[in-house]
Chain A
Amino acid sequence: MDEFPPNTSDPKPPSNERDLIAAARAAAKPRPPSTTPGSTLNLPSPDTFPGYQVLKEIHRGGQGVVYQAIQQATKRKVAIKVMHAGPFATASDRRRIEREVEILAQLDHPNIVAVLDSGESAGSFFYVMDYISGKPLDEYVRTTNLSQRQVVELVAKIADAVNAAHLRGVVHRDLKPSNIRVDAGGEPHVVDFGLAKVTTGSSRGGDHGEPMTLTGQFIGSLPWASPEQAEGSPDRIDLRTDVYSLGVVMFQLLTGQFPYEVVGTMRDILDNICHTEPRRPSTVRAKISDEIETIVLKCLSKDPTRRYQTAGELARDLKRFLSGEPIEAKRDSGWYVLTKTLKRYKGATAAGVLMLLLIILFGAVMAAMYRRESVAREQAVQAQIQLDDANTQLGRANRDLALTNDRLQDANTDLAASNKELAAALERAELAERSASVKAAQTGQVRDLIKRILIAGDPARAGGQDPLVSTVLDRAAQDVGRQTLDPEVEGEIRHTLGQAFFSIGKWAQAERELRHALRAYAKSRDIDLRAAARAKIDLAIVLKNLGAREEAEAIYQEVIDERTQSAGVDDVLRRTALANLGALLRESGRTDEALELLREEWEYSRRQFGVSSERTLRLKGQYGRALSAAGKHEEAVTICSQVVTEMTLALGADHVDVGTAHAMLASAYKQAGRLPEAESAYAEALRVLRISLKPDNPSLVSTLMDYAISIHDQKRYVEAEPLIREAIRLAAGQPGAGGIYVLRYRLTLGTNLMRQDRLEEAEHELLEVHDAIAVHPQRQEDLIRISRLRMAEVYDKLGRSDDAARYRDPAPPSHED
């Protein structure tokens, strides 16, 4: 358990009105009559495309119409694609696609359909390509019955072609079988770069970087879309997006199926693309080779950084396979697969979390068992050595006896001593054996308990309902209470349950289990001091979250004293307790003590574990916060900025701890009065935290509130209001502190409304908050004082000076007032 929030959920694909409206707007437009002849019977007039004679319409799609035509000058057969005017309504849109056509026209690759010409006709943009007679890729593969090897050869050529476009900075963005045609000679040709966007040079920013299509327009290509496209993140689309689509195409060609379900509601499909791990191709077609499966799955990684980084890399690996060389792609490690699998089920069902908890529980208990069993084994080995020694001495003594009577007496004495040692050694061996059998019995107890938890989590036994994790944990806790367990085993299990309750935000239950664990440890015959100290530290963290700071402080102090005596000043648990105590003191406003303690711990960790170790960086962050609290703002900003940079380097930009570090930096900026910088740091913190935390996670909610306040403080009240309301809504569902956070947030909402001159709403909100705080069990005087001041301000503005005066009066009014 840790002071930093656990990684608990996945982001959802965005589904907001704006996206839907944009997609609907684009889709609602009928094509303009000038460029949309209705059928083969209604071809455009001969002068529509000067220099070309249109023969027939060959395709009509969401983006435009394709005609077959003859280039009159050369008599070669060409295809003319006329784009619908809709998506290219503006001059900059048109410039962009013209530039792209220019690039494609320069591309001379045997597997890319050459662009010969482009122009404008009746207000619509068109371009002319070589006409490829043949079939779309999927139809070709289906009708030609290719072997796995032939499919791989085909895909390698396609990947080479896509790579050629990539090298010129063009990302296709819409790779799918219908955009790849195979000619009579079996050569693939990539067509239709209509959705591609230019990514070279300066084009990543500003108007050039805009995607050429609106989010909703890839709808017809959805099954081949990458997670970044499905999430509607055009900024994240790059070369690796095409690698993903090639992965889907390859999967489809090899198996005849998609890597996940692509029929269902739009939300389901998007969700599958973003979150459902692709099935293994070999589960659909058993004959698919391991290497090919590895290559396909590497392309289909949800995380672009785990895919091939270019289509060229993919092509190379496919060729390695074809020539029998080892491929470069590695299978994901067992641990990666396990965590991905657990993640996949998280949220949808308790099963994943339950499994995780069981693994933690089993791991924790077994580690303890193993530790102790090792000790027992070690004792047995030692006893055996002593036994052997004794035997040797006995032999020697016997030899002595036979050889010389003179030394009979001495030998007898030796014999007696040896016998005594032998007896002692035997006794120790017996003890060790007994201890080992006790451990075996304890292991059996754990196994039985886990079996019972699993049965409790089985939906079939829970009345058909998928039980909540908390329900399963509650049952497990009750079950432990009913069993007569070895105190050590009970301690370990209760401790693990406490951690599990804490990680799902059930703080009260976590406290209960941790106290049980401590009682159990205390009862155990040879008390494990380290385990008990760990449970105490966890209990202190829980208590701090529940608002019981004094008891938390006392517990940290107790751990520090105990560990100093039993293990010395460098004991890691003692150091952890000291660091946590520092953070607690800072939160309690004892900044000077906190500053000193945290600085000492940070420096100690830096010496002991290195500058960029996770522990050192966390402590440095805590130190930065303490500096901020102590009014040393600029120093705090410097330290926190360093933490953000170092953590990003160590953990990657999207790691949850980096999110927390951004929030710390934001707070430092805010304290330093640098509000715009604070706002953008909070925004970044939110972005990162939202990737890994559930929307109602306490850390995420408090960061959201801080972000809202940073906007409010810059007098952008209207903008801040919905954010404050969102934070209130989310905080209302949180455990702990009996809703005092909600009241604090609502007080801010009241102030916000007042600043917007929505006085009656402000009065209503503030009155409710004031009355609720006044009767709250954790009545906080500062909140009462602020709410009264705000009430007075509201009444002043309303011109009700009597009421204003009444609230300026320090004595709280009685409820009859």
Chain B
Amino acid sequence: MRESEAELVAKARRGNEDALAALLEQVGPALRSRLAGKISSHWRSAVDEDDVLQVTYMEAFGRIQNFTDRGEGAFLAWLTQIAENNLRDAIRGLERAKRPDPRKRVQPTTREDSYVGLVEVLGVTQTTPSMNVAKGEIITELDRALAKLPPDYERCIRLYDLEGRSIESVCTELGRSSGAVYMLRARAHERLAEVLGSESRFFSRRS
């Protein structure tokens, strides 16, 4: 007999990945149809439903513990929210790429600068660390935090933010569309900010 959504959600939240996979299989088609028609033909060459779904599913596997079950349909609603955020981030990224704003992109001059720049972009610290003093520490912390991310998130940040590679080159390297890379990057930033935040190193006043 097929398990109910509530049972699957409960199991998934306890860390049962098979249950989560089953749940995603159940709601996948509905999510896909919700996405259908939301990607304008203008962007279709750069992002499609599969891209959005794959990053959304990745998020689901990474963050199911954060989901609060508010009853029938809540899981689909939660997933839809993530998917819509992903799509929005992809489109924003693509739009920005058309009109590049230099302030939004870390402009690395040296390896250290790009690390510090990324921390600023993430906005994880309310007090700017003394860049000269803390550079080494930032690198160590960021490396440590990056290692805690899913590999694709980490590679996306390393290639785009830290190595300053072009979006096309990141796309080729990751074998993904530009839309998908923007989604990965946005989610990776969120996760990285959380990981860094939880380690709370950057919240201490050092400067």
Where the two chains meet, the residues of A that have a C-beta atom closer than 8 Å to any C-beta of B are 15, 17-18, 20-25, 27-31, 33, 36-39, 41-42, 60-62, 84, 216, 219-223, 262-269
Contact = CB atoms under 8 A, between A and B. Distances in A.
A265 B139 contact: no
A20 B50 CA distance: 7
B100 interface: no
Contacts of A263: 168, 171-172, 177-178
Interface in B171-187: 171-180
Contacts of A220: 173-175
Given A27-B150, A31-B151, 19 more contacts: A21-B21, A21-B57, A24-B54, A24-B55, A24-B61, A33-B148, A39-B144, A41-B143, A84-B151, A216-B54, A220-B174, A263-B171, A263-B177, A265-B44, A265-B50, A265-B177, A266-B51, A266-B176, A266-B177
Interface in B18-34: 20-21, 24-25, 28-29, 32
Given A36-B147, A262-B172, A263-B168, A25 B177 contact: no
Interface in B37-74: 44-48, 50-51, 53-62
A38 B29 CA distance: 38
Interface residues of B, number: 50
Contact of A25 (B51, B53, B57): B57
A159 to B, nearest CB: 24
10 contacts: A17-B28, A17-B32, A17-B53, A22-B21, A28-B59, A219-B174, A221-B175, A266-B48, A266-B51, A267-B48
Contacts of A31: 147, 151
Contacts, number: 130
Contacts of A39: 139-140, 143-144, 147
Contacts of B24: 17, 21
Given A25-B21, A62-B151, A265 B58 contact: no
A27 B149 CA distance: 10
Indicate the member of B21, B47, B178 with the most A CB atoms within 10 Å: B21
Interface of B: 17, 20-21, 24-25, 28-29, 32, 44-48, 50-51, 53-62, 139-140, 143-152, 154-155, 168, 171-180
A38 B147 contact: yes
Contact of B152 (A36, A42, A62, A84): A62
Given A24-B61, A30-B147, A31-B147, A265 B51 contact: yes
A84 B145 CA distance: 17
A42 B155 CA distance: 18
Contacts of B46: 264-265
Contact of A29 (B25, B144, B150): B150
B147 A27 contact: no
B151 A27 contact: yes
Contacts of B47: 265
A429 B130 CA distance: 106
A262 B140 CA distance: 35
Contacts of B59: 28
Contacts of B58: 24, 27-28
A551 B34 CA distance: 50
A61 B174 CA distance: 11
A267 B50 contact: yes
B45 A265 contact: yes
A450 B175 CA distance: 44
A24 B143 contact: no
A265 B61 contact: no
